[in-house]
Chain A
Amino acid sequence: MATVLIPLLQGSSATSGNAAASSFADQTNPTEPLVIVVNRSNPVNELSFDELRRIFLGNRSHWPNGRRITLVMREPGELERKTVLRDVCAMNEDQFKNHFVHGLFTGEILVSPKILASPVGVRKFVFNVPGAIGYLRVGDVDDSVKVVRIDELLPDDKGYKLRMQIQLAN
């Protein structure tokens, strides 16, 4: 999967067709797709962007096969987390925290997200937990996890909404 995605990454541009995404993206900086991954035993292959938002906000607790959904997040400050909060949850860090504290308190949300320090940790967590869902850069994806289509698009497809800006080193 990584070998397929990397050439696409080089050819990708900031000219996304999605208005919501493009509104956050700096048109002058290159972007990289963020891959949504689930356990290989998970029957789900595709999610709509709205379903993805509901999952990441804890509003959906179980998969169609009855497995509890376990959300896997990177630590605050990581670029991937920022991108998900910005593009998927449309929240900043504080809003996201408050959302979950409130949800857990009221019982609307059953489980708080699991925080992993590294992309490898995310990948291994998703591999070990059948109901886990997380996000990885293209280069961190391997066969131990399954990539989920978002709005019927794979990360290397044109129009894929979930992209993060690459910080260029000066």
Chain B
Amino acid sequence: MNFSPMTRVTSFACRFSWQIDLTKKIKFETKRRSHYPMPLVDRWLSAASRHNAVLLLFVVCCGVTVIGALVIRDMQQANTEAQRMYKSSVNGLQEIGELQYDAQETRRTTLYALTTTNSNLQVEYADQTREADRRVRNGIAEYGRQAKGTEELALADRLNRDWTAYLSVRDEVLASILEGSTNEAVNLDLAGGVSAFERVRQDLNEVKRLYGEDASREQASLAESSRRSSSRMVGILSFTFLLSTAAVWAIQRSQLMGRMQLANLQMEFVASVSHELRTPLSVIRSAADNIADGLVKNMDALLRYGAILQHQSRSMGELVDQILLFASTEDRNKRVSLQPLPIEQIVEMVLSDTESLVRDSGFTLDLEVEPGLPHALGDLTGITQCLRNLVGNAVKYGGPDRRILLRAGASAPRENSPGEIRISVTDRGIGIDPSEIAHIFDPFYRSPRVHASQIHGTGLGLALAKRLAESMGGSLTVLSQLSSGSTFTLHLQISKGDNIQITANEGRQSRMSLT
């Protein structure tokens, strides 16, 4: 089979169109995702998964702790209330019981005196009855003090009156017994003592009844309080359960979203890498086929094919190197050996590395380097790789103006800042949407606008540049305005022992352009 160069080109075009189809397919998948239900929740969960699901757990734990504290406080209050009521009930019953006993004791010991004619024993019984009588009077006075409401106050007053009336009879009976007039004592007791004591007994029963009613009311109140407490606890536990369930759901969903995002990013990465590899591979294969089929017959054509093969294989090699380099920076704890580097050496290296790229793309690279810059502390390979990526991005997204500015400067040490070297790459291209600024350093992240513009890439360039900067103790920042361009700045530490000598008089920037 013989194919003309045109045929080869057609074949290459077909393969390329397949790649475009794949890209479209990926874009279609991305579009479908935008119709996913609950977009706000997912956006929030996505943010949570990107930052930390532990934060969510912390919030839930705080919520559960607060709710637990409320439950415990509620239980303690209910318990304290129950204890108070129990104690009050026991004390009240005990006091009423003692009052009844002492009243009986007063009467009993009075009548005991009837059982003997020994005056000494009778005096002892008289003592006992008066002692019991004193306790009863104290009990009645205490009841009067604690009486609540008109009914209890009236009862306390009546009890006091009835008890006094009984005591007057009791005194007469006692005197008769001591005098030895037993019959008279019995007659006195039957005539007045029994009825007077019966009134006292009824009063005490009334006290008991009122106390029982009061206790019943308190018991009902306690039962109501207990019911209220139980309902509150059930409510709180239900809320806690719902909150926990929601938190578990959110965490699982957050993790799922994270995994989905990662899977999508990896899929896009695979598609992008495949595309990036297939493009030069197709060119190489086409060129090799043409050479093998003997279609390249003169030396000029052979040299041109050789140059194509060289360029494409170098592109593939660079891509593979970048992927491998990114993989190697996965270990954040990996130490990079830092050394003092003159800025001129760094700039020279970057210009040398990007010269062909800038030239072939038709860009102009302006260079501004402040004079007398101190040495930067870093790794030369890392810095140049980082800047090469930034220049590469500037070329990719530089727009029709096709100008790139590479600027090197420094800030002097201050009270709060030790000073730093700043190397920035500025383009006048499409810029970055503010909503995307937070994501552009994420691995595999590619802006939808970039997808739409069919600008190829792996989504690793900026992530790799940032990791490299951080591995050298520096940082990478961006300032961008949509449709006006972007400035990426690499911040590096100043090597110790190097003093910055920048003054307005002697500081004159060196400028040059590379086209």
Contacts and interface: CB of A to CB of B under 8 A. Distances in A.
B120 A116 contact: yes
Interface string B116-142: 000110010011000000000000000
B174 interface: yes
A111 B181 CA distance: 9
Interface residues of A, number: 17
Contacts of A117: 120
A102 interface: no
B167 to A, nearest CB: 13
Nearest to B174: A128
A124 B126 contact: yes
A104 B175 CA distance: 21
Interface in B96-132: 119-120, 123, 126-127
A117 B122 CA distance: 12
Nearest to B127: A124
Chain B binding surface, main DSSP class: helix
Nearest to A125: B123
A130 B123 CA distance: 14
Q: Which of A116, A117, A125 has the most CB of B within 10 A?
A: A125
Interface string B150-194: 000000000000000000000100110011110000000000000
A124 B150 CA distance: 40
Q: Which of B123, B171, B174 has the most CB of A within 10 A?
A: B123
A140 to B, nearest CB: 14
A131 interface: yes
Contact of B123 (A70, A128, A131): A128
B180 A111 contact: yes
Nearest to B125: A128
A19 B181 CA distance: 40
B178 A128 contact: yes
A10 B184 CA distance: 45
B120 A131 contact: no
Contacts of B178: 70, 114, 125, 128-129, 132
Interface in B380-427: none
B179 A70 contact: yes
Contact of A68 (B123, B171, B174, B179): B179
A80 to B, nearest CB: 16
A114 B126 contact: no
Contacts of A130: 175
A129 B175 CA distance: 5
Contacts of A114: 119, 178, 180
Q: Which of A70, A72, A114, A129 has the most CB of B within 10 A?
A: A129
Given A128-B126, A128-B174, A121 B120 contact: yes
A125 B124 CA distance: 10
Question: 9 closest A-B pairs (Cβ-Cβ)?
Answer: A114-B119, A129-B178, A128-B126, A124-B123, A129-B175, A70-B179, A121-B123, A117-B120, A125-B123
21 contacts: A70-B178, A70-B179, A111-B179, A114-B178, A114-B180, A116-B120, A121-B119, A121-B123, A124-B127, A125-B119, A125-B123, A125-B178, A128-B123, A128-B171, A128-B174, A128-B178, A129-B175, A129-B178, A129-B179, A132-B178, A132-B179
